[in-house]
Structure 1
């Protein structure tokens, strides 16, 4: 059994599946999880994409997750959530030890 490198909270899973369905995104696509930038200036990369030759593909609670092998160490143990606030709503990613 392969252990998923990331977790997806139920509210995020619902939004992801809803987006895949309503936008009619083909089944070959998945949720790409990664980082962009480096050092203190890095940020999370989330979006729908096709897998490439350097990617690993995981099934996380029924969501196809694509992670570039070069990003795996940086995203390991991350939790993807979805928050609604007065400022707006969107996906959030946290790793153990992240400041809230």
Structure 2
């Protein structure tokens, strides 16, 4: 069961890649991984990238990764699982695979 202390999951391979990318690119510690949605309706897509938190954001520590989620996006991203495979990151939502 997910709680707001852990609204998303970060798989070990994604965690490793995220932390390596932050370190290799010397990205300052106040940055984190932004998880959200872009667009709306049938045209929405996932948003994933490194960013600084803003006043409308919630910041979580998920498996040692600083995760930033806009409060407006929180309902949509709860239950999301971030993975990594050769070629890039993957995002899966629990109820989308059923």
> Which TM-score bucket, shorter chain as reference?
over 0.9
- 2:90 maps to 92
Separation in 2, partners of 1:98, 1:66:
22
- 1:32 maps to 34
**What is the deviation of 1:2?**
5.2
Residues 40-88 of structure 1 deviation map (CA, whole Å, 9 limit, x = unaligned): 111110111000000000000000000000000010000000122xxxx
Query: With structure 1 as the length reference, what TM-score do the two structures score?
Result: 0.91
Aligned length, in residue pairs: 96
Query: With structure 2 as the length reference, what TM-score do the two structures score?
Result: 0.92
Q: Deviating runs (4+, > 2 A) in structure 1?
A: none
**What is the deviation of 1:10?**
0.4
Q: What RMSD, in angstroms, separates the aligned Cα atoms of the two structures?
A: 1.5
**What is the deviation of 1:95?**
0.6
CA 1:12–1:26 in structure 2 vs 1: closer, same or farther (change >3 Å)?
same
Separation in 2, partners of 1:28, 1:61:
16
- 2:66 maps to 64
Q: Does 1:43 align with 2:19?
A: no
